[in-house]
Amino acid sequence: MAHAASTPRAPLAVAVLVSGTGTNLQALLDTVHGQEAEIVAVASSSAGAPALTRATERGVPTAVFARADYSDRAARDSALADWLADRGARLVVLAGYMELLGAAFLERFGGAVINVHPSLLPAFPGLGAIEQALQYGVKVFGVTVHFVDAGIDSGPVILQRAVELPSAGSPEEVLAALRPVEHALLPEAVRLFARGALSVDPANPRRVVMSPKSAPGVESGG
């Protein structure tokens, strides 16, 4: 008896929020864009962000939502959410986005906002994570991709990878070592989300569970 072919999964519509150079955006454009995902919007908190040029060069719609242009953060978040929703975004990726998002925005995209952070969370959350780690004197640094909640880098962990740098002496040196890890883990997290391979453990909302064999060789946690 013949079996009907399974219907291919449509690419995941992804919005990316940026504030700076956009190297993580570029990693997404070079890997998952046009494959498992389609980047449908790039929004920046700064009009001068080089990341906007990266998006424009690939034909991705861009917009700027500077907090100074709105009466308050809630108004900015509302306008941003409306713009992303109008473009059909189903996942929001924070790729070097240097602004906090309020509860209303996170509820609008419930369970579908992820962030990449240059530390092994829960260690060194917030701004200046690499500087915090250097000051503390750690020998192992790392990258975390996590779901975003109302706290500061406190959402459930999706992927992590550690890098041993026993002689690191400057933030620039650490960042150079972590960049390739960020560029690998963030697209992998988007792939996993696109495949529906991520879920929150009902017995422990802090834990992200992956479908079996969904991410071979990639450390995960939550």
* pLDDT higher than 80, residue 222: no
- The angle at the Cα of 83, spanning 104 to 105, to the nearest 5 degrees, equals 10
| pLDDT value for 219 | 43
Average pLDDT, the chain: 92
Of the chain, the end-to-end C-alpha distance in Å amounts to: 44
* pLDDT higher than 90, residue 205: no
Please report the domains of the chain, with CATH numbers, ordered by start residue. 10-110 (3.40.50.170), 116-222 (3.40.50.170)
Show the tokens assigned to 108: 């609008």
- Residues 107-133: tens digit of each pLDDT: 999 999 999 999 999 999 999 999 999
Q: How confident is the model at residue 153 (pLDDT cuts 50, 70, 90)?
A: very high
Catalytic residue flag (residue 183): no
Mean pLDDT over residues 80-97, rounded? 97
Q: How confident is the model at residue 199 (pLDDT cuts 50, 70, 90)?
A: very high
Q: 33, 117, 146, 183: which one is catalytic?
A: 117
